[in-house]
Amino acid sequence: MNLNRRQFSVLAGAALAAQSLPNLRAQAEDRRIGYCIVGLGRISMDHFMPAVKLSTQSKITGIVSGHPDKARKMAAQYGVPENSIYSYETCDQIRDNKAIDAVYIALPNNMHAEYTIRAAKAGKHVLCEKPMSTSVADAKAMIEACKQANVKLLIAYRCQYEPTNLRAIELIRSGKLGTVQAIESANGFNIRAGEWRLNKKMAGGGPLLDVGVYSLNACRYLTGEEPVEVKAYSSTIDHDGRFNEVEENTSWAMKFPSGILASCNTTYGANMNGCYRVHGSKGVIDVESAFGYQGQYLKASFDDKTSLDEPNPAKDPSHFIRMGDYFSNCILKNETPKTAGEEGLRDMEWMSKIYESCGLSL
């Protein structure tokens, strides 16, 4: 076949374009959000990172750690290049890493504010574990830093993305339960000596900030209201050296604008199966393991003689997959997350009031 110069140029260009199409297509299909993991602890290594590995919307592209050997091991496991491993001293350099879109902060509570603000200044979106911070002032500073940098901030309230908790909300909002009158919730565990959570400076407080925040947040998302009044008590029963800096137990009651009353308990001295019960004029909803990584179980009975028995078979790390993918989609679509910084701030404000009622402070 004889081709003139113009025809040859067209065909050659088409051939080159065809060769490049697979790469272009691969890039488009692989528009997953790249996360830099800040802190290699249990929640990041055992839950969030395995979730990202199973995700279709997210990938791990960086690591910040104070333990070089651990960081290299995890980097090899997740395909993170060595030049994307940072120390806490060098983590501001993530600003120059185009593969990193967001950070996942899984550090002790008192470090959340500093590293959220540093990530925001580096131009990276932030997914921060709860509690958001150890003070109301720090929570406000985190929100402001992310606004100034025009990056998104999501607080890791994974239960607000979990199907069983969403089902409970749906039943309440639909009117199936009638008029909600009261909520009871409890969450706690028997803590081991030596945990960083027993250090007031690092944790900010006792079980309220660590696991009680689940019950507090649940009462808020179940009612769809903000409390108007709170009364609380704290105590330490086991004088075995664990609770020299933080309290062992906290109990509080809240009143909501509609008149709904909520009572909550949290502890570091006994195993509580993170649960809640919602009493309505037409029935009752019970959710067991409401706040765990798996094992959610919803039961309900209604005055019309109907009932529900709904175990959730999903296994860990399904919660983290849903939450991570949700945030990734918010970034890709430029949408404000449901549990943005303001959600975390409201819990910090109420936990401050709970402690104040106990005669304590954050």
User: In the chain, where are the structural domains located?
Assistant: 31-158, 159-312+341-358
At residue 355 the predicted structure's pLDDT band, cuts being 50, 70 and 90, is: very high
Range name among 25-29, 266-270, 352-356 with the lowest pLDDT average: 25-29
Q: Is the pLDDT of residue 2 over 60?
A: no
Q: What is the mean pLDDT of residues 176-204?
A: 98
Specify the pLDDT at position 30.
61
Amino acid type, 322: R
Residue 293 a catalytic site member: no
Give me the catalytic one of 78, 86, 115, 130: 130
Residue 79 neighbours by CB under 8 Å, 6+ apart: 60
Q: Which of 86, 214, 276, 355 is catalytic?
A: 214
Q: Name the band, by pLDDT with cuts 50, 70 and 90, for residue 12.
A: very low
pLDDT tier for residue 31 given thresholds of 50, 70 and 90 = confident
249-277 b/e (C-beta count within 10 Å ≥ 16 → b): bbbbbbebeeebbbbbbbbbbeebebbbb
Bridge-based pairing of strands 269-280 and 33-38 is unpaired
Contact of 59 with 32, CB cutoff 8 Å = yes
Q: Above 90 in pLDDT, residue 108?
A: yes
Q: Which CATH superfamily is domain 31-158 in?
A: NAD(P)-binding Rossmann-like Domain (3.40.50.720)
Would 31-158 and 159-312+341-358 be classified into the same CATH topology? no
> Out of 10-24, 34-48, 55-69, 96-110, which region has the weakest mean confidence (pLDDT)?
10-24
| DSSP characters over 241-298 | STTSSS-SEEEEEEE-TTS-EEEEEEESEEEEEEEEEEEETTEEEEEETTTSSS--EE
Q: Which residue has the tokens 């549990």?
A: 339
Mean pLDDT over 122-142 rounds to 98
- Does residue 26 carry a pLDDT above 80? no
Reported CATH class of domain 159-312+341-358: alpha beta
User: Does the pLDDT at position 1 exceed 80?
Assistant: no
* pTM for this model (two decimals): 0.91
The Cα 30–Cα 21 span in angstroms is 14
29 pLDDT band, cuts 50/70/90, is low
Active-site residue flag, 130: yes
Task: Compute how many other C-beta atoms are within 10 angstroms of the C-beta atom of residue 30.
Answer: 9
pLDDT band at 229 (very low <50, low <70, confident <90, very high): very high
From CA 223, how far away is CA 257, in angstroms rounded? 10
Q: Is 222 helix (H, G, I), strand (E, B) or coil?
A: helix
